[in-house]
A = this chain, B = another copy of it.
Amino acid sequence: MNDKQLLMIPGPTPIPQRVLHALANPAVGHRTPGFSAIIREVTDKVKKIYRTESDLLTLTSSGSGAMEAAVSNFINPGDKVLVLEYGNFAERWIKIAKTYGADVQVIAGQWGRQADPQALAQALTADTAKEIKAVYATHNETSTGVTHDIKALREACGDHPAIFVVDAISGMAVSPLEVDAWKLDVVVSGSQKAFMLPPGLAFISVSPKAWALQKACQTPSFYFSLKAAKKNLDEKNTTPYTPAASLITGLQESLLMMEEEGLENIQARHARYREMVRAAVKALGLTPLAADTAASAAVTAVMKPGDIDVKQITKIMRDKYNVVIAAGQGKMEKEIFRIGHLGYITEADILATIACLEMTLKGLGWDCPLGKGVAAVQEIMLKG
C-alpha cells in the first residue's frame, strides 16, 4: 500500500477522481470550435474566481512562468520596482526583476510576519518623482505560511501610478482576494493549488492600467507575450501556442466542482483547516511560525521542536506513514516543517496527518503527548 500516499504539501494538491477521469479523456484538436468553446468557458469561470472583469489569460507553464510574464511584459531595464520581501516566493520576484535589469527596491521584513502597509506607503510617498513602475507582493507566502493583507497593502499605495502585482499562486480561491474591488493590476495563480489540477497551467489577470504600462514595455517577450495571448483569446478564443489541452479539459471539470461548492464555502473550508491544524500543533506544544492573525489557510508552517532534524520529520512521515509534508524553504529550510491543507483535502486527511505527526515526533525522541493533537481537531469537528 505504499502506493497510496496522503499528499499534505502546499501544492500540488491531491486531484479529485472526477478530475483524474477528465484528464484521461482522449486527445482533442486544440484548434477546433469545440475546444475554443472550452477555452471561453474556463476563462469566464476563472475570472469569477478572480473576481475580475479584466482580461484573464491562461499560460501553459507552472506559476513561475506567469510570474516571469508579470515582469517581462511590463518592466524595461532600469525601471524602478518595489518588492515586499517576507519569504522565499517573494524573493523570486526579486530574482526575476533583477534578471530583467530592473532597479529593485526591497522592503524586507521578518519571515513569518505580514508585510507592513505603512512601510510600503512610506516608500511610495518618498518616490516623489513617481518613478516606481510596479509593486510586487505575495498573497499567500507558501514558504512561511503567512497570508499577507493584500487589501491593506494595495490601499497603502493610494494613487501612486505603479501597478500592483500579486503572486496569488497558492492563495487564489483559498482566501479572499478581490481583484477588481481591491484594484489589483496583475494577479498570478497556478493550476496545482486550489484548482485541484496537476501543475502545468498558470493564470494571469491584467487590468487596463497594466495594459497601459505594457504598451511602453520594450523587453523581449515571445512565449509569455500577454499581448499575443490577449489577441488570440479575444479574436478566436484560442492561444498563440499549443495549450496543455488535457489540463484544460481537467480544469473544466475542477471548475464545475468549485462552482458546486461555491467560492465562499471553499474559503470557509480552508479557514477551518487552518484552525484545526493550528489547534492541533499548539495542543502538542509546538509553535506555528505565523501569528493567528497572519496565518495562511493553505499551509501551516511549524517551528521544529528542540533540535530535531526537520528532514527526519518529513522522511519518517513519508517513508513510514505515507504522509507527504514539506520541510522549510530558503533560509528557513531547517527551522520549520510545513503541513499543506489546500485543495482536495478532507477533515479525515487532517486527522490522519496529525496522528502520524504525533507518532513521528515521539519516534524522534520528542516527548509528544499522543492523541492530544487529534483531540484538538476532533473538538473543532464536533462543534460542527
Contacts and interface: CB of A to CB of B under 8 A. Distances in A.
Interface of A: 5, 7, 9, 11-15, 20-21, 23-32, 60-65, 68, 72, 95-96, 99-101, 190, 192, 198-200, 219-224, 240-247, 318, 324, 326
Given A61-B60, A222-B68, A223-B61, A5 B29 contact: yes
A198 B244 contact: yes
Contacts of A61: 60-61, 65, 223
B245 A198 contact: yes
B247 A198 contact: yes
A220 B61 CA distance: 18
B29 A246 contact: no
Nearest to A329: B31
A324 to B, nearest CB: 4
B21 A64 contact: no
Contacts of A20: 24-26
Contact of A62 (B14, B25, B244): B244
Given A7-B29, A64-B241, A198 B246 contact: yes
Given A65-B61, A198-B244, A221 B99 contact: yes
Contacts of A60: 60-62, 65, 199-200
Contact of A199 (B7, B199, B221, B245): B245
A89 to B, nearest CB: 11
Nearest to A13: B27
Contacts of A244: 62, 198-200, 244, 247
A327 to B, nearest CB: 9
B27 A12 contact: yes
Contact of A32 (B25, B219, B221, B324): B324
Contact of A198 (B9, B21, B27, B31): B27
B222 A95 contact: yes
Contacts of A324: 29, 32
A14 B32 contact: no
A242 B60 CA distance: 12
Contacts of A219: 220
Given A23-B23, A64-B242, 20 more contacts: A5-B26, A7-B28, A12-B27, A20-B24, A20-B26, A21-B24, A29-B324, A30-B199, A60-B60, A60-B199, A61-B65, A64-B222, A68-B223, A72-B220, A192-B245, A198-B245, A199-B245, A199-B246, A200-B247, A246-B247
Contacts of A27: 7, 12-15, 192, 198
Contacts of A318: 29, 32
Contact of A23 (B32, B62, B246): B246
A101 B14 CA distance: 43
8 contacts: A12-B245, A13-B27, A23-B24, A64-B241, A100-B222, A101-B220, A200-B247, A219-B220
A218 to B, nearest CB: 10
B29 A9 contact: yes
Contacts of A240: 64
A243 B26 contact: no
Contacts of A96: 222
A306 to B, nearest CB: 25
A14 B26 contact: yes
